[in-house]
Amino acid sequence: METEMDTAELGEKIVKVLKGIYDPEIPVDIYELGLVYDVMVNTDQEVKILMTLTSPNCPVAESLPKEVEEKIAKIEGIKSAEVEITFDPPWSKDLMSEEAKLELGML
């Protein structure tokens, strides 16, 4: 049971870090933008993040996933971090949180 709590705690820390990473073209963090599809933490504290980009031609297609991996890997207790990029389903504005839409004046 203790491992589950540790995993949940790590999940919260990961989300906090993700909310500190911003898309350079849009002044909203990648989590609220809906770019993060899934965060998986196994019992060995290995993290896999499934995310997308606003478009396949995104100018930060190479640097953003590396930035996410590096920042997540620095969290105390994380053994490794891997980011997988997918375009299925493709990103759309519908994936944005209400907070992000409000920030961008879309509500």
User: Contact at 8 Å (CB) between 54 and 25?
Assistant: yes
Q: For residues 2-24, give the mean pLDDT.
A: 83
Going by C-alpha positions, the residue among 51, 21, 53 that lies closest to residue 37 is 51
Q: How far apart are CA 31 and CA 45, in angstroms?
A: 20
- pTM of the entire predicted model: 0.89
82: Cβ contacts below 8 Å, ≥ 6 apart: 46, 47, 48, 49, 69
* pLDDT of 3 higher than 70: no
Give, in words, the CATH class of 7-104: alpha beta
Computed over every residue of the chain, the mean pLDDT equals 90
Please state the domain extents for the chain: 7-104
pLDDT band with cut points at 50, 70 and 90 for residue 26:
confident
User: Contact at 8 Å (CB) between 101 and 34?
Assistant: no
Q: For residues 29-43, give the mean pLDDT.
A: 94
Q: For residues 16-37, give the mean pLDDT.
A: 93
What pLDDT shows up at residue 6? Answer: 77
Three-state DSSP at 91 gives: coil
What pLDDT shows up at residue 4? Answer: 53
Residues 40-68 have pLDDT tens digits of: 998 888 999 999 998 888 888 889 999 99
What pLDDT shows up at residue 43? Answer: 85
Query: What is residue 29's DSSP assignment?
Result: B
